[in-house]
């Protein structure tokens, strides 16, 4: 589904929250939308891997990695699992790796940047809790809209 966040904001205005943090478009799909699932973790992608290897049913995984660019929270194998399991996209307040391979996948991916360094795999973090970054609180079940212009979230 092709959505223009600018047009959507013009229609609905302040009933949508606009994420001020500037993300890079790193996936094969620039525009994506879906209900939110969340993860809060720091330099550990064990929970992310587990979730993206489970049925996504068109959801968008929003990961609050505290803005850390020290390690990648997702690479091509985990992103490939997201595609196989029906996730619409992933938004990471942190880094990914394997960006050339991720860019070829039919998945929306927004992240702050990339780093080839692997993260820990201890599954330390929280799932489906409200997370906040870029001036927006992301709540599980709310709908996220993303394209080249940015990210909008239903509160």
- Which residues participate in the annotated binding site? 75-78, 97-98
In degrees rounded to 5, what are phi and psi of residue 76?
-65, -35
Quick check: 72 and 104 in contact, CB under 8 A? no
Known binding residues for substrate are 75-78, 97
Contacts of 14 by beta carbon, 8 Å cutoff, 6+ apart: none
Known binding residues for Mg(2+) are 98
Residue 31: name the closest of 142, 145, 111, 143 by CA.
145
């Amino acid at each position: 589904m092709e959505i223009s966040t600018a047009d959507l904001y013009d229609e609905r205005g302040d009933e949508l929250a606009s994420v001020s943090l500037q993300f890079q478009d790193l996936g094969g799909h620039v525009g994506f939308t879906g209900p939110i699932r969340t993860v809060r973790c720091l330099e550990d992608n064990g929970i992310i891997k587990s979730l993206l290897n489970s049925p996504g049913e068109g959801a968008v995984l929003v990961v609050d990695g505290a803005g850390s660019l020290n390690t990648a929270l997702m690479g091509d194998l985990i992103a490939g699992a997201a595609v196989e399991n029906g996730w619409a996209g992933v938004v990471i307040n942190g880094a990914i790796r394997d960006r050339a391979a991720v860019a070829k996948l039919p998945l929306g991916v927004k992240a702050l940047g990339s780093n080839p360094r692997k993260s820990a795999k201890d599954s330390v973090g929280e799932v489906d809790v409200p997370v906040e970054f870029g001036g927006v609180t992301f709540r599980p079940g709310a709908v996220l809209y993303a394209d080249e212009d940015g990210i909008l979230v239903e509160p």
